[in-house]
Structure formats: C-alpha cells, structure tokens
Amino acid sequence: MLLIEKMKHKEDFTALERQISEYILEHRNEIFELSLAEFSKRLYVSKATMIRYFKKLGFASYRELCVELAKELSLYENGVPGDSGTAESGNESAEEIAKRIQMVNTTALAISYEYLGFRDVEEIADIIRQYSRIYIYGYGEAGISAARIMNAKLIAMGKDTTLIRTSEQHAGRYRSFDRKSIVIFCVYNDAEGKAAAMAKDIHSMSLPVLLISGPFPSEIDRYAYRSLRTMYTEEEGADVTSGSVSAMEYLGNVILEVLKRKLKQQLILK
C-alpha cells in the first residue's frame, strides 16, 4: 500500500496519529520545509509520539517519510496512479504544469539531501580551496547547468576557472592544462563514456579529478579522486528534466557554500 493510502486508512491509528496524518495530507507540499521540531510544535505533539508514528508507517525517521512522500507526490502529479491523462493529452493548465514541475524538483532535492555524503562535501570543498586554477567540465543538460553555476560562483570567490561544455568542442585541449590545477566533472549520466575518456587522460597526467554526478555508476568513477552523487533518478524519456538539473545544481551549491565557509575561516586564521 502506498504511503498516502496508509495515511488515509486511519482505523489503525490513535487519535494523535490521525491528527498527524490529517496534517500531512492537508499540508503535504509544505512539510518538506519543516524540521521535526517545527512539525511537532505546530501539532502540539511530542517528538516521541511523532517518531512512533513514523515507525508505525515503516520509517526510521521523519526525513525518510519525507523522501517517500516526495516520490509519491511526484508520481501523482505526473498522473500515476489514477492517471487522468491531462499531461499526455496536452490539456494541463498553467497551474497544473507549474505544480507538476514543483513536485519534480521537490522530490529531487529531498532525495539529494537524504543521501548526501557530508564528509565528501567537506573533503571536496577543502580540495578546491587549495587550488586557484580550476577547470570545470559539464556534460549533458544537468551537468552543464551545474558546471555553469559553479564556474560563476568560483570566479566570484577569486578562483581562476575555465568552463568546458562539450568534449567535442575542446577535444585534446586538456593536454595543455596547468599541472597545478584540478578538474571538476559535472556529469549526471555518462552513458556514452565521453566524459570517462577525457577523465582517463586527465588522470594519466596526475591531475586531481573531482566528480559531481547522478546515481548511475560509470567508468569515470575509476578516475575520480573524490566524488559526490545525487541518488535522484530521472525517468528515461521524462518530459520534465528539471529534477536532474535541480539535483546537480544543489550538490554544486552545497559544495560552494562549504567552500565559502572554509575560505572565510582561512582569512581569519591569517
């Protein structure tokens, strides 16, 4: 049974658990922004009661419930289950389209946060901090979008960066890379292996390779010194691809915010 259906099936719930279910169902697009403490305070229910409720539904934590709810809402908004056919028929209103895209992005961010490796974030940010010369390679829509944002923000932080959008356009250019630089790959899915081929050559030059990627393992992982991936999976052939774009941009922004903190601390120590 789906989570939403479980929450609607209230016969097995206590009065407090029914109250929690009703609140989630009525405010399901808002709870992702609430911490457990904030959620508990709004309902005047103890955290212990909330945790028992989550476990009754089969979740170890509030965050796990949010991730599963985000997934289901994304399915509902895209017409599954109970497909009304509006998306396929092209009869969606502007409001329906906006809501569908919002839920795709909400799902992508919730899943990315849930499985984020915070230690990896700290290590990648620290590596970037040590280099002033940075090459950023973006492949595919999501990878290029994340690479573009990282490039702009790193320049604002005083880093000397070069943005590379496609392997074909810059074939062989990496052979002239500064030996005292690092290369960041932003690649959501390297199904064709183009990014991996470039990463292999760069790795052979003893240049550190950092990888920001989607959930799909690829050859490029073999050459990455450190990597960070989102576990959000964009469905093949999805008509809304903003989820993977949001997920990749999110990872990049988290790394850069941690980097900004480290640079500030470095200035204070000086």
> pLDDT digit string (tens) for 204-261?
888 899 999 998 878 899 999 999 999 887 765 555 468 899 999 999 999 999 999 9
Does 152 lie in the same domain as 175?
Answer: yes
User: Within this chain, do residues 157 and 184 fall inside the same structural domain, yes or no?
Assistant: yes
Residues 129 and 246 in one domain: yes
Same-domain check for residues 143 and 88: no
pLDDT on residue 4: 78
Q: Are 84 and 185 within one domain?
A: no
Residues 85 and 163 in one domain: no
Domain of residue 42: give its range: 3-114
145 and 48 inside one domain = no
Give the DSSP letter string of 11-79: TTS-HHHHHHHHHHHHTTTTGGG--HHHHHHHHT--HHHHHHHHHHTT-SSHHHHHHHHHHHHHHHHTT
Alpha carbon distance 155, 124 (integer Å)? 17
Q: Are residues 163 and 105 in the same domain?
A: no
One domain, residues 62 and 156: no
Residue with tokens 């903003």: 242
Q: Cα separation of 93 and 99, whole Å?
A: 10
Say yes or no: 198 and 261 in one domain. Answer: yes
pTM surpassing 0.85? no
Residue 110 sits in the same domain as residue 203: no
**Residue entry with tokens 């016969």:** 11
What integer pLDDT is reported at residue 173 of this predicted model? 64
* 70-85 residue pLDDT tens: 777 665 544 443 344 4
Domain boundary among 89, 114, 139: 114
Asked if residue 126 and residue 56 are part of one domain, the reply reads no
CATH number of the domain at 34, please: 1.10.10.10
